[in-house]
Amino acid sequence: MNLKHVDSEKILFLDIETVRGLESFDELDERGKGLWEKKAEHSFSDTDPSVSWENAGLYAEFGKIVCISVGLLHTDQSGRKLRIKAFYGHDEKEVLQGFGDLLNSYYNRKDQFLCAHNGKGFDFPFLCKRFLINGLEIPEILDVTGKKPWEVSLIDTMEIWKFGNWKGAVSLDSLAWIFGIPSPKGDIDGGQVGDVFWKDQDLARIVTYCNKDVEALVQVFLKLKREELISSDKITIQDVL
């Protein structure tokens, strides 16, 4: 995808935060325990399922989404601004419905896009799977099934940065660093989100963390397009987009 032909203000930038679907491994039914034990055996060095279960939020089959933050660029008489909104809650279905309503109502044209860092490797497929698991229809812009490459409206900043090198994985924080953008990482990182949700029961802290990732994502994307960054006074967190 040639970014020169993409209007930055027709992109919805997003990040998701996921956690293990149940607080502890012991809460799974016997079938679920067996399935997780098989996955843990092949995926983690520590095969104790009660320990490896902390990583269940990485998998749509065993985890759930607790926050989806989105960002939108727009320009008015005072210049370009960034608005950020989060869909969050303990009821994943409600979170997905709110996000899905936004996509279906406002992001349904061919010249519009969704953008995430490692979105094609994580965020986008995770969202699609959780929509189905919750009995919801996948919004058209997210559903790539049967689409030709040029019909897919998904942008991945990690994929852009690889420049064709399939081994060129890089974190959003690393890209922010090399471009002189403040780190999106605050008092927690991705590996701590599950415990912040289940043990600390501090969803607000997770939402703040997710919002910061979206802010950094937008700034990195603007650097990739060689466009001017958004100053902090032009960034707002609001209840309604």
Residue 88 has pLDDT above 80, yes or no: yes
In this structure, whether the domain defined by 3-21+62-237 belongs to CATH 3.30.420.10 is answered with yes
Which two structure tokens, joined as six digits, stand for 80?
A: 């370009």
The band of 144, judged by pLDDT with boundaries at 50, 70 and 90, is very high
| Residue 184 pLDDT | 86
Which two structure tokens, joined as six digits, stand for 2?
A: 């040639």
Mean pLDDT across the stretch 127-149? 96
Beta strands in the chain (DSSP E): 11-20, 63-76, 79-88, 113-116, 154-156, 235-237
Mean pLDDT across the stretch 105-119? 95
Residue 49 to residue 34: CA distance in whole angstroms: 10
Burial 130-158 (b: 16+ CB within 10 A, else e): bbeebeeebbebbebeeeeeeebbbbbbb
Residue 240 has pLDDT above 60, yes or no: no
3-state secondary structure of 50: helix
Q: Rounded to 5 degrees, what are φ and ψ at 231? A: -70, 155
Which two structure tokens, joined as six digits, stand for 188?
A: 């927690």
Residue 241 has pLDDT above 70, yes or no: no
Is residue 99 within 8 A of residue 108, CB to CB? The reply is no
Across 66-80, 186-200, 218-232, least confident range: 186-200
The region that residue 89 occupies, defined by phi over 0 for left and psi between -120 and 50 for alpha, beta otherwise, is: left
Which two structure tokens, joined as six digits, stand for 232?
A: 């902090």
Task: Give the model confidence (pLDDT) of 37-76 as tens digits.
Answer: 999 888 887 678 889 999 999 999 999 999 999 999 999 9
Residue 112 has pLDDT above 80, yes or no: yes
Residue 50 to residue 75: CA distance in whole angstroms: 50
| Residue 106 pLDDT | 94
Mean pLDDT across the stretch 149-171? 92
Residue 182 to residue 161: CA distance in whole angstroms: 19
Q: Where are the alpha helices (DSSP H) in 165-236?
A: 172-178, 193-198, 203-224
User: What is the residue-averaged pLDDT of the chain?
Assistant: 93
At a CB cut-off of 8 Å and minimum separation 6, what does 83 contact? 71, 72, 74, 235, 236, 238, 241
Whose tokens are 């994929």? That residue is: 159
Going by their DSSP bridges, the two strands 11-20 and 63-76 should be labelled as antiparallel
Residue 102 to residue 154: CA distance in whole angstroms: 16
Residue 67 to residue 43: CA distance in whole angstroms: 25
pTM for the whole thing? 0.95
